[in-house]
Structure 1
Amino acid sequence: GPQIHRRTLLLTAYSGPVFFHILFYYCQAFIYGTTFQHTASQILAFTLITLHFAKRIFETIFVHVFYRLTVSFYSLYLYLFHYWLLSGVFMAYYIYYPGTCSSSISLLSSALETEETSLYFLSAVWIFAELSNFETHLILANLRIRYPRPIPKGYGFDLVSCPNYFFELLAWTVITLITRSLASLLFLIAAGLHMWRKAARKHEMYKKEFGSQYPKYRKVLIPYV
């Protein structure tokens, strides 16, 4: 059937959320029928989400090495649903809705004394997760240009087969805690299930490819689980 270049697919998918979050964040009067001051949580969520997808676009252009250059054109519709609709329109509409994210992050704020402190803490965790995800992508890219391909090692790979997915899930968990939005939670669940399925498939592929050489103690996605 019709094929689409994988890089084109990913660039199309990742550009959607950037556009929609900018649209919903800045076009308040047009979308919500009123203008208002964004809360600290909304401002932070907007910043982190747009940076996340900007990073994904950068990696797609400059970092990722693809084994298969093309995929079925049908994949484009699945990616558009996942990224444009779920993490784009659906999340953006509810995250930037007037009054959303205005209350404190109760449990975390109580533990850290103030909401401002909790947002700084969550930002630090998000930065760690994104930088770690980037590092694992660099490791994978370097491995894919070597033949025969060695067993992935270092920075998370000694614990799980797909630390890149683990760190991305951590980043989206932070977004969910910041926004306290059902839309964010639903996307986290959808993304988590999708990444778990891909990680399980990759885990089995590694075991089949490397046989007894592949470390038996490595988990699929979450360390020690």
Structure 2
Amino acid sequence: MDAPTNIQVEVSLGRKKTALLRSLKMPLTLSFPPSPPPTVRDVKRAIQKAFPKFYADRQKLSLPEAPKSLSDDSVLLFDAAGKVELVVGDLGPQISWRTVFIVEYAGPLLIHPLLYHLPTAFYRTEVQHSALQKSIYAMVLVHFIKRELETVFVHRFSHSTMPLFNIFKNSGHYWVLSGLLLAVDAYRPGYSQPVVAGTWRDGPLLQLGWAIWAYAELSNLIVHLNLRSLRPAGTTTRTVPVGYGFSAPFNLSFPNYFFETLAWGAVFLISASPAAALFIAVSFGQMLIWAQKKHRAYKKEFGDKYPRNRKAIVPYII
């Protein structure tokens, strides 16, 4: 049997129809040359060309019998007549991951200086800042400046966008928990120099906290740089992560999450701040969910090639 001269891809609407989907003229038949065989990404681009408002990052393509989203790199399997049927869904308005990260990390960078430098506006009194408060202020600013720089110059994202709503959810986490709540608690008169001087918060424990924090932040940066080197620019290629944090003595799938938690643990160590404890608890809980899910995906994807002794996020435990 001769190979088909063209591949016909019929795209129909899924069951859940948004206002945008209802405005489209579907089903849509698209034609592609058989060589090279078209991918899901090619179909998305063709749909966007036909309906410019329905951009590729907003589309979800699946097979009629399987609602699971097809990856952009999937090659379409056509029948003997050169035909393929796909179902398209609407993921809703999207926003780039990079933009979301920049906005969410900006919150603490704006909020902490306000409360630190304008105490009378918030506490109705002057605050003689203690070494503890100065330390927390420096740790928070350096941490989030580092995160902003990593977002711009280091991170490579497997997906270019996320749902627009996430910018409000993610920003709320950082702007409220590590921003407003932590700043209000950390720079209040109860942590000022006259109160803290001579207590356990004003001694060797502060130096230990700085040592742990600096080690954790540097380790986190090394892991992020290592992850960048494992993914070539402009690709979604993944390999088994190796190197510092991934190998002994840590043996973790996500050492960046571990070091992130350790850095914030240092802030709690020197302050015993309830706000810091709350932020750590919420952050670690979310990172634990992500780490365990991705850890299982790693083992499924790489099989026997993936080190069996690796834990997800906490060395030797989880």
Q: TM-score with structure 2 length normalisation?
A: 0.66
Q: Distance in 2 between matches of 1:144 and 1:125?
A: 29
In the superposition, relative to structure 1, how do residues 55 and 199 fare at CA in structure 2: closer, same or farther (>3 Å)? same
State the match for 1:97 in structure 2.
Answer: 188
Residue identity matched to 1:137: H
Query: What secondary structure is seen at the aligned counterpart in 2 of 1:82?
Result: helix
User: What residue in structure 1 maps to residue 299 of structure 2?
Assistant: 207
2:173 alignment counterpart:
82
Q: Secondary structure at the match of 2:162?
A: strand
Bigger radius of gyration, 1 or 2? 2
Consecutive unaligned residues in structure 1, runs of 5 or more: none
Q: What's the counterpart of residue 119 of structure 1? A: 206
Q: Name the counterpart of 1:153.
A: 242
Post-superposition offset of 1:214: 0.6
From the two aligned structures, give the one with the greater strand fraction: 2
Number of the residue aligned with 1:217: 309
Please identify which structure carries the higher helix content: 1
Match of 1:171 in 2: 263
Residue of structure 2 equivalent to 1:43: 134
121, 129, 139: which one aligns with 2:226: 139
Alpha-carbon contact 2:97-2:161 (below 8 Å) kept:
yes
Q: Match for 2:277: what amino acid? A: L
Between the aligned partners of 2:130 and 2:272, the Cα distance in structure 1 is: 13
Q: Structure 1 105/220 Cα, relative in aligned 2: closer, same or farther at 3 Å? A: farther
For 1:149 and 1:68, locate their aligned partners in 2 and report how far apart those are by CA, in whole Å. 13
Letter in 2 for 1:65: R
Conserved in 2, the CA contact under 8 Å of 1:16 and 1:83? yes
Pair 1:143–1:193, CA change in 2 (3 A): same
**Count of equivalent residues:** 219
Gaps of 5+ in 2: 1-91
Q: Which amino acid aligns with 1:97?
A: R
Residues 202-223 of structure 1: CA distance to partner in whole angstroms, max 9, x if unpaired? 1011111101111111001000
Q: Identity rate of aligned residues, in percent? A: 41
Q: Classify the secondary structure of the residue corresponding to 1:71.
A: strand
Greater shift, 29-38 or 94-103, is seen at 94-103
User: 1:16, CA displacement in angstroms?
Assistant: 0.5
- Structure 2 CA distance, aligned partners of 1:27 and 1:216? 52
TM-score (norm 1): 0.93
Q: Aligned equivalents of 2:197 and 2:242: distance in 1?
A: 40
Aligned-partner residue type, residue 239 of structure 2: P
Query: Which runs of at least 4 in structure 1 moved beyond 6 Å after TM superposition?
Result: none
Larger RCO, structures 1/2 (Cα 8 Å, 6+ apart)? 1
